[in-house]
Amino acid sequence: MVGEIRDEETAQIAIQSALTGHLVFTTVHANNVIDVLGRFLNMGVEPVQFISGLNCVMAQRLVRVICRHCKCRSEVSIATLKESGMHGRYTDAHTFFEGAGCIECGGTGYKGRTAICETLVLSDRIREMILEREPSSEVKRVAREEGMRFLRESAIDLVINGVTTFREINKVTFVT
């Protein structure tokens, strides 16, 4: 377990451990899984070492959960849908919820948190792209083709399933 990789020396130690057969878990601060690849390259880690020692990258954010004690149906404004990049989608097919605020949640309408995640599994194709230093936009496109779901998609699923709100996911994810 490596607490956090912030510099080249720590990155090299983690990579060497992975290359010698150790299972390494660590954190790297980045906006998403694709940005982690760039962070390693910017730290001076050679792509050959990097792709040999890395199996997958996972990004996560926490979002607040609507309080189950005061959860109620909610009308989502056109402005909120536009801000969320959802205008014209999901409006008629889904019921949205929010917390009214109660003693259980301290009037916030939220109680507890849950994770939204995205995971990039390094396929042979993505490994080759990293070696060739392809743009991150291309790596992202290929990852999507290979079935990767992004943070925003995970977050929208939670809104559609009545777990959290657009307001909450707009604070922790970017509209793409």
Neighbours of 92 (CB within 10 A): 5
CATH number assigned to the domain with residue range 8-172, chosen from the 4 options 3.40.718.10, 3.40.50.300, 3.90.245.10, 3.30.70.20: 3.40.50.300
Q: Is the pTM of this model over 0.85?
A: no
Q: What is the pLDDT along the chain (176 residues), one digit of tens a residue?
A: 888 888 889 988 888 898 898 899 999 888 899 999 888 888 888 888 888 888 999 999 999 999 999 999 998 877 887 777 776 665 566 789 999 999 999 999 999 999 999 999 999 999 999 999 999 999 999 999 999 999 999 999 999 999 999 999 999 988 76
> How confident is the model at residue 92, as a pLDDT?
61
> How confident is the model at residue 89, as a pLDDT?
61
Separation between Cα atoms, residue 34 and residue 170, nearest integer Å: 20
Read off the amino acid at residue 136. Answer: S
> How confident is the model at residue 30, as a pLDDT?
87
State the angle between helix axes of 33-42 and 136-145 in degrees (0 to 180), rounded to the nearest 10. Answer: 140
Here the tokens at position 159 are: 């809104």
Here the tokens at position 74 are: 């909610």
> How confident is the model at residue 31, as a pLDDT?
87
